[in-house]
Amino acid sequence: MKKVVLTQVLLLFGILFGYSQFEWQTVTCPVTENLTSVFFIDSNHGFVLSDGGTILETTNAGNLWLPMVPVSNMYAAAIFFSDSLHGCLVGWINEDTQSSLILVTNDGGNYWLFVEHTYVNRFNDVFFIDNNVGWAVGSKGELNTNCIYYTADGGNTWSDQTGILIVNAELFGVGFRNELLGSTCGADGAFFITNNGGMSWAMGISMPILNLNDIYNFGILNGCIVGDEGTALFTVNNWYQYIDQNSNTEENLNAVSGAPETSFLWACGDNGTIIYNSNYLLPWAPQVSNTTEKLNDIQMLSPIEGWAVGDNGTILHFNPLSELPQKTENQRPEIYPNPTSGDFFVKLKNVNQFITMKIFQLNGDCIFDGKWKNTDQINVQLPDHSPGVYYVLIKLDVDIITESIIFN
């Protein structure tokens, strides 16, 4: 419960005061290869792939990354876990012949099994909706046509679902909402959708004629695609239409990720570009990445934690909590009575400044907004609100204090 409360509070904090003031921090990496993909099973256990065949693993929240046994001539493009045990890695072997590569694990990454196949030139992305059903996308043949492959047994066997073949339509990203609704994007505006689990794929709406590098679908209708030249497209109707968003950058955007169970999105790209968006009707905003390296992948674990990886062994970590000033117990406000019927007091300590206080419901609706100056006690009367947990955000000049209160 404490973690959920903290996540909600920081999400609201981001809405109120902006994420742009927070910076991504560089993490020590044991290799200098270009890093291509990142995936965390949970906040402690994660993997990073490289274009040189190295798989990096951390089991202590990224404080230490250790290389696993490398695979010779392997270009590892993407990794995905459906739960703490079941994962799949795709890419290709040998830059010249480009024979596609698939590895699967059933024990959380301790052991990876090669899947024998002779399918395509290369796989660029993989996505699973559960431990059994997944899709991998990429290209095949001298004409570099699109390809979509499907598995129903956890990646042990794969079948071709491509259907329509388009020359020079290599696919870079794939995402599913559920077992039926999915979409994939790629080179020169390639875009395909399915509403029957990939039994048939159709060309979707016309897209900009440039590389669409990644897709992130969330909920039953929403989604985001990012691509070259700062392209950021958003849908609210499962890609029947899209909104061409202002990304505030002309850099190529290579990956996009969202904080689970929220509408917050992050994207990364060339020259250390990281941008975020909290509302599809608003422009994207930049964040400080502290690097100029090309960033190839990003994963947000929550609104307050994320990881990005890029060229020359670049690993970045986003954790605003580490940047917020920590209040000692004798500095924290006292809220009483708590639980409350709606009439309560907030007693502040050592106050000689402007005060802003907002109170939010779980869904983000603000039910109270007040400002004061040079007072140490505030009386709040909210008798007509439903029982439940509410969040109190107090801003004292540059300091932010967060508390929770229960209405009964």
pLDDT tens-digit readout, 22-38:
789 999 999 999 999 99
Instruction: Look up the pTM and report it.
Output: 0.80
**330 touches 349 (CB < 8 A):** yes
Q: Distance between CA 76 and CA 73 in Å, rounded?
A: 10
pLDDT over 50 (residue 391): yes
State in words which class domain 2-323 has: mainly beta
Name the residue ranges covered by the structural domains of the chain: 2-323, 329-407
Instruction: Find all residues with CB under 8 Å of 398, minimum gap 6, and list them.
Output: none
Section 131-143 average pLDDT:
93
pLDDT over 80 (residue 62): yes
pLDDT tens-digit readout, 107-121:
998 889 988 766 678
Same fold, 2-323 and 329-407: no
Residue 333, preceding peptide bond in cis (omega within 30° of 0) = no
Which stretch of DSSP H or E encloses residue 359? strand 354-360
The yes or no reply on domain 329-407 and CATH 2.60.40.3080 is yes
The mean predicted confidence, pLDDT, of the chain is 87
pLDDT over 80 (residue 189): yes
Residue 70, classed as helix, strand or coil, is coil
pLDDT over 60 (residue 326): no
Q: Distance between CA 406 and CA 360 in Å, rounded?
A: 12
The type of residue at 151 is T
The type of residue at 7 is T
Q: Distance between CA 169 and CA 387 in Å, rounded?
A: 54
More confident residue, 111 or 326: 111
Identify the band that residue 175 occupies on the pLDDT scale cut at 50, 70 and 90.
Answer: very high
- Up-side HSE of residue 59: CA atoms within 13 Å toward CB? 7
Spell out where 106-242 has E strands: 113-114, 122-128, 134-140, 145-151, 159-160, 171-176, 182-186, 191-194, 202-203, 212-218, 222-227, 231-235
* CB-count burial class (<10 Å; 0-12, 13-18, 19+) for 382: middle
pLDDT over 50 (residue 123): yes
- Up-side HSE of residue 368: CA atoms within 13 Å toward CB? 24
